[in-house]
A = this chain, B = another copy of it.
Amino acid sequence: MKPTIFKAFVFATALSSFTIIAQNTPTKLSNTYLEKVIKDNSSYLNQGKVADYIPELAKANSQAISVCVLGPKGVIYKAGDYKEKFTVQSISKLIALMIAVEDWGEEKVFERVGYYGTSLAFNEFAHLETMPTPLNPMMNAGALVTTAMIKGEGDEGYQRILERIRYITNNNTIKINQAVYLSEKETGHRNRGMFHLLKNKELIDKDEEALNNYFKQCSIEIDTEDLAKIAYFFANECTRFDGDNKYKNSSISELLLSQMLTAGMYDYSGAYSRKIGIPSKSGVGGGIIAADPKTGYGIAVFSPALDSHGNSLIGSKILEDLSNKLGISLFKK
Contacts and interface: CB of A to CB of B under 8 A. Distances in A.
Interface of A: 1, 3-4, 6-8, 10-11, 17, 20-21, 24, 114-119, 124-131, 135-136, 189-190, 192-200, 235-237, 250, 253-255, 257-259, 261-263, 267, 269-271, 273-274, 277, 279, 293-294, 296, 329-333
Contacts of A127: 119, 126
User: By DSSP majority rule, is chain A's interface helix, strand, loop, or mixed?
Assistant: helix
B136 A270 contact: yes
Could you say how many copies of this chain the assembly holds?
Answer: 4
Contacts of A237: 333
Given A119-B135, A195-B193, A258-B273, A1 B8 contact: yes
A3 B21 contact: no
Given A21-B10, A193-B200, A330-B330, A115 B3 contact: no
Nearest to A12: B13
With most chain B CB atoms within 10 A of its CB, the pick from A11, A126, A196, A235 is A196
Contact of A118 (B24, B117, B332): B117
A165 B95 CA distance: 45
Given A197-B193, A254-B329, A129 B125 contact: yes
The 6 tightest CB contacts between A and B, nearest first, are A117-B117, A193-B196, A193-B197, A115-B270, A126-B129, A189-B200
A118 B119 contact: yes
B114 A119 contact: yes
A331 B254 contact: yes
Contact of A199 (B117, B189, B257): B189
A269 B117 contact: yes
Contact of A7 (B6, B129, B253, B293): B6
A88 B273 CA distance: 26
A1 B1 contact: no
B117 A270 contact: yes
Contacts of A270: 114-117, 136, 258-259, 262-263
Given A119-B135, A193-B200, A253 B333 contact: yes
